[in-house]
Amino acid sequence: MSLITCTRGQYLSQLIFRKISENKSSIFSSIHKYTHGSAVNKNGLLQISQEVEDAMHSRKPIVALESTITTHGMPYPDNVTTAKAVEDIIRQNGSVPATVAVIKGKVYVGLTSSELEWLGSRDGLVKISRRDFPIVLSQGLSGGTTVSGTMLVAHKMGIPIFVTGGIGGVHRGAETSMDISADLTELGRTPVTVVSAGVKSILDIGRTLEYLETQGVCVATFGCSRDFPAFFTSKSGFQSPYNVQTVTSAAGLIESNLQMKTGSGILIAVPIPESFAASGEIIESAIQQAVCEARDQGISGKDVTPFILSRVNVLTKGISLQANIALIKNNAEVGSKIASALNEIQLRGDNSKASTVRPQHEERGEEKQSRPVVVGGVVVDFYAQLGQKCVQSNGATYPGSLRQSIGGVGRNIADCLSHLGSRPLLVSAVGRGSHIGALHDNCQHMDLSGVEELDGRSTAVYCGVLQQCGEMMFGVGDMEIMSHITPSLVSRYSESLSQAPLVCVDGNIPAETIEYICDICSQNKVPVWFEPADIHKALKPYSTSARDHMTYTSPNVAELMQMWAAFRGKSPADVETVSLDTSCVDDVIDACLPYCCELSDSIPVVMVTLGCHGVLLCHRLGDKPVFPTKHKQSYSDDVSVLHYPACSPAQMPTTTVSVSGAGDCFAAGVIDAIVKGHDLDLCIKAGLMAAQYSLQSHHAVPTTILPEAFSSDRVKTWAPWKPRPIKLGSEKKMRY
């Protein structure tokens, strides 16, 4: 588990807990600045899992989870199994789980599977509320955090939503005992939204709701009614002041509370699923018996709830445990969907503020905060790389290596953009339950809220065969699900499309969907990048009106030829074959030049990837010598053609590990630089640098691609050379 922790003792501990309640990105920049990149220090107070850290950097939605359900709420191994299942549900809904616990005097935000197992199987752990932190941390103890303890940590981490089973409340007879759960006062002073199944029926629900009102806590039932649930039953006989019927309205409620800075939290009460609510009477009867037994045995305080839950499980022969698990899972699904909706609202708000507060930055070409959209395929990739040069199609088995990864042109581009800090929204489709676990495990740093899970469909699968040198021989793909990325599906994200600084579509999606996207972007003056994907899919825009609304494309040589043929209304048979095996780059350029010049009449910026020979840029000149942005730009008939070598001679790699993601990383590198407002030269060089990273990795998008490695100064240092201008003669207009 990769952790970020405090260093230099008490000073940095105080620094973290001060900074941690401010802007999320400043947390890590402050820590890293002080520690000079130190990764782990055992004297640290706070330990953040890599998954949560990545989510905070990439601004993915995060859902906090308590750990007393694991340490005190359920028997082993049901507690650990449930905790892992809840985390998986949160991931499946596009959010990142952050289970909070204390292990040996350190506050953990996000737990590994082994850490969950350790907590769930160990006896004698402390139940940690707000009041218990000083003792537990100072004495190096371990335990599970309650609702109030988890809310405290979540707020300091800037996590606005917390999912649990049920909260504590006002105990019966509290008018004399003053037994009131710290959860209620925490809700009154900590602006975190708690998603729960209400409060347990052993409590005084009426007085609990009154106390929450006194504390200034907004309470709303999730659903069409205001009936306040009582954990195992959907109706307690009391009403919530309000109700929210959708995750979007719930997210709007939370955002309004945060904007208003009330300082208090929100309780969203989610009724137990109806299939388990039928067992409510049996469970309620067992609860009343357990309450009497607890009183007779003199059990009080924080020991009451664990005793009652354990006893009720015995009395109901496991029915209550199954109902408990069901409601927690249901809360996790609702809470994670609300978190995703809230994150989308906040990202839109940030983009709006960026365009309103900093318009002068666009004129100066400074970096803009933007959110591009990528619409394309998510594919499970299998690659077979041959272990020898000479093979025959004779049914024999040849030595080689096999590997699996999550790919797809659209996904790869969105992946690389996420690594570079552009925070793209990926819109795609996968089969429900088909490779979903692998997708979320590999894409935890990405915003997958636009990836729809379709029933009865299989996630796309591709099998590629590579030569020993890493060059692609051929591939076989099952891409049927791509046909279901329809205009109707994409229309759910029309607002994101219309507000994006740039939209990238890959050729895997249907032609009518490409047309729909181009139409929205044209109306809103949003530039479109078309990534061909292969020679067959490269033709799709030319069968629709999309042919007139694309701004960028980066085909390889074969795709360029096919796109030109479709643009000119020619047959693929009319296209010449150009080999990149030649050692003479000028021969390759001469062969491609007339095609890309003519294609620029349709697409203003054509970047032809030439493999080891680099990139041929054909750019129809506009009113500014930079790449087009969201603002309207006029074009002249003049065309500029530049050749960019793959890299400096000193940077030339001796071997190539894999070419499978180089083109996608090139596209993402250029797009990221465009979105950040850089000029043409730096954009192309950033793309080439990203491609070089990919060529040296077995991963299509290597994790070494990071924003700091692709700063403008780093890119200029990596590629100090100038591109070579290509003189145009009669090539611009071909005669056929």
Looking up tokens 């039932």, which residue turns up? 221
Q: What are phi and psi of 270, to 5 degrees?
A: -110, 120
Cα–Cα distance for residue pair 214/14, rounded to 1 Å:
32
Name the active-site residue from 19, 84, 127, 200.
Answer: 200
Q: Nearest to residue 665, comparing CAs of 395, 464, 419?
A: 419
Cα–Cα distance for residue pair 467/490, rounded to 1 Å:
37
* 200 is a catalytic site residue: yes
Instruction: Cite the DSSP H helix spans in 8-112.
Output: 10-19, 24-35, 50-58, 68, 78-92
Relative to beta strand 379-386, strand 400-407 is antiparallel
Angle at 210 between CA 208 and CA 212, to 5 degrees: 70
295: left (phi over 0), alpha (psi -120 to 50) or beta: alpha
Task: Tell me the C-alpha to C-alpha distance, in Å, between residue 647 and each of 470, 556, 560, 611, 693.
Answer: 19, 17, 22, 11, 11
C-beta of residue 432 within 8 angstroms of C-beta of residue 419:
no
Q: What are phi and psi of 381, to 5 degrees?
A: -100, 135
Cis peptide before 723, with omega less than 30 degrees from 0?
no
C-beta of residue 495 within 8 angstroms of C-beta of residue 521:
no
How many other CB atoms are found less than 10 A from the CB of residue 487?
Answer: 17
* SS3 state at 601: coil
Amino acid at 245: Q
Retrieve residue 428's tokens: 């795609």
Q: Which residues of 14-26 are buried (b: 16+ CB within 10 A; e: fewer)?
A: ebbeebbeeebee
Relative to beta strand 724-725, strand 635-644 is antiparallel
Name the active-site residue from 66, 284, 344, 559.
Answer: 66
Looking up tokens 């490409």, which residue turns up? 514
Q: Which residues of 437-451 are buried (b: 16+ CB within 10 A; e: fewer)?
A: eebbebbbbbbbbbb
Cα–Cα distance for residue pair 12/32, rounded to 1 Å:
11
Cβ-proximal residues to 570 (8 Å cutoff; 6+ apart), any chain: 564, 736
Retrieve residue 123's tokens: 């006896």
Task: Tell me the C-alpha to C-alpha distance, in Å, between residue 673 and each of 447, 555, 614, 685.
Answer: 20, 19, 18, 9
147: left (phi over 0), alpha (psi -120 to 50) or beta: alpha
Which DSSP category does 175 fall into?
A: H
* 66 is a catalytic site residue: yes
Relative to beta strand 605-609, strand 615-622 is antiparallel
- Kindly list the catalytic residues: 66, 200
